[in-house]
Amino acid sequence: MVAVKGQIYGAGTQRTAAVAAGAVLVLSSCSLGGSEVEDGGPGSARVTVTPAPDSADVAPDTPVMVEAEDGTITDVRIEQTPTDDLGEEAAGDAGTASGQLGEDGATWISDRNLVPGASVTVHATAENDAGTETEVVSEFATAAVAEEDRLELVSNFPVSGDVVGVGMPVVINFDRDVERKEQVENSMEVTSEEPVEGAWNWVGDDTAVFRPKEYWEPYQDVEVDLRLAGVASEEGVHAVRDHSIEFEVGREQISTMHVPDHEMVVEVDGDHERTIPVSNGAGEKEFDTTTSGIHLTMEKYTSLVMDSATVGIPEGSPGHYRMDVDHAVRTSNSGEFTHAAPWNGQIGSANTSNGCTNMSEADARWFHDESLMGDVLETTGTGRELEWDNGWGFYQRSWEEWLDNSVTGEPQTTDGSGTPGDVHADET
């Protein structure tokens, strides 16, 4: 082996056809190129690592590139040690290298961003045709990110440990708008025991939603790796830590209602479980019309105060109501719940509600107790269609529409094979 510690050969700025399209370098105030030095000896491989040794304040979303001349790359290892207040939490899996080797074996580029405010050491090994190895060790430092310039998570659904229904999306809420949505999408990978195609869409600029092409297969584990450390949501704003979510898809419960029939049919794992008499919206105006479409159960309450002021009908206005209800399960953000309605004497025979699905006390309790977040409720037979972004109406978009509205425009297969594209900075 020929060891060249701290000595890097070549300018480090030339790209080869083997490097993924769109993976580009962003130059900070320091030089990121390598500097030419003596190689390890006649005929030995010569290695370039970018960013250059001793670079400071390297943007965290800069790719690490290793190039070998007169040899092939046999190993790359990246070590990162946070040097600011982020500590161990920010580093995540920072000690493990992750990247793509070009077809010719002469170019390697990282497929993860770097931890902000870290000391980075790159160990790269290349071998020439005679089997002689050249090892290069290069060190540089990434720029720290001020607290006011950090992209953080506000919330996510589900959370680790949840058992969910087969329609469950992955919902990630950020604390600020995301401009570079493609890089953020490509930093979030979903893996399931039963692989499917899925993709991200955005609700506004601060909420990313992943859904599979079709419902999840029941009885399996799903993991979401949010490899966000170093990704830029906009110029100068970076995430500083990784997150992970592990949840379980439970049994398959799918409920259907044809509203004029005044009943809900519940199937569990493909078998009929229960037929529930119901009373839906009276349908005299848009507000009291139950929406048709694919709903997902979002949350549930043993008891709940329902106030029309929360959906735009304040106290003193025609149609205002405020009432206590039991065993409520939310199915939209426009005020639709299933719940007990012992005052409604027309359950099973007429639609008289303000848009909710009224049930008897016993049936409402059963549906509440049996419901998991992400269960499916398919409703038909009304003149009001559920909007795709009303609650979790994400299956209202066809798969083709969902892909068209993904920033990457490509599906992500949940088999651990990675995300569709680049996580690094835009060329601009």
pLDDT in tens, 286-313: 989 999 999 999 999 999 998 877 767 7
| Dihedral sign (CA 35, 37, 43, 44) | negative
Active-site position among 238, 295, 339, 368: 339
Q: Hey, how many other C-beta atoms are within 10 angstroms of the C-beta on 209?
A: 20
Q: Hey, how many other C-beta atoms are within 10 angstroms of the C-beta on 421?
A: 20
Active site residue 424: no
Q: What does the pLDDT look like over 173-207, one tens digit per residue? A: 999 999 999 999 999 999 999 999 999 999 999 99
How far apart (Å, rounded) are the C-alpha atoms in residues 169 and 209?
7
Find tokens 């604390």 and name the residue: 175
How far apart (Å, rounded) are the C-alpha atoms in residues 154 and 137?
39
Distances (CA, A) of 203 to 54, 188, 241, 310, 399: 42, 16, 23, 20, 16
Active site residue 272: no
Find tokens 């997902």 and name the residue: 296
Q: Encoding tokens for residue 215?
A: 């419902």
- pLDDT of 312 reads 75
Find tokens 């609700």 and name the residue: 203
Is there a contact between 344 and 277 (Cβ–Cβ < 8 Å)? no
Q: pTM of the entire structure?
A: 0.86
Going from the N-terminus, what domains does the chain have, and what CATH number goes with each?
2-141 (2.60.40.3780), 145-428 (2.40.440.10)
- pLDDT of 92 reads 52
Pick out the chain residues at pLDDT < 50.
Answer: 1-38, 87, 428
How far apart (Å, rounded) are the C-alpha atoms in residues 97 and 66?
12
Is there a contact between 66 and 138 (Cβ–Cβ < 8 Å)? no
How far apart (Å, rounded) are the C-alpha atoms in residues 407 and 209?
12
- pLDDT of 3 reads 40
Active-site position among 262, 295, 327, 356: 356
Distances (CA, A) of 334 to 69, 311, 356, 373, 397: 62, 6, 10, 17, 18
How far apart (Å, rounded) are the C-alpha atoms in residues 190 and 170?
9
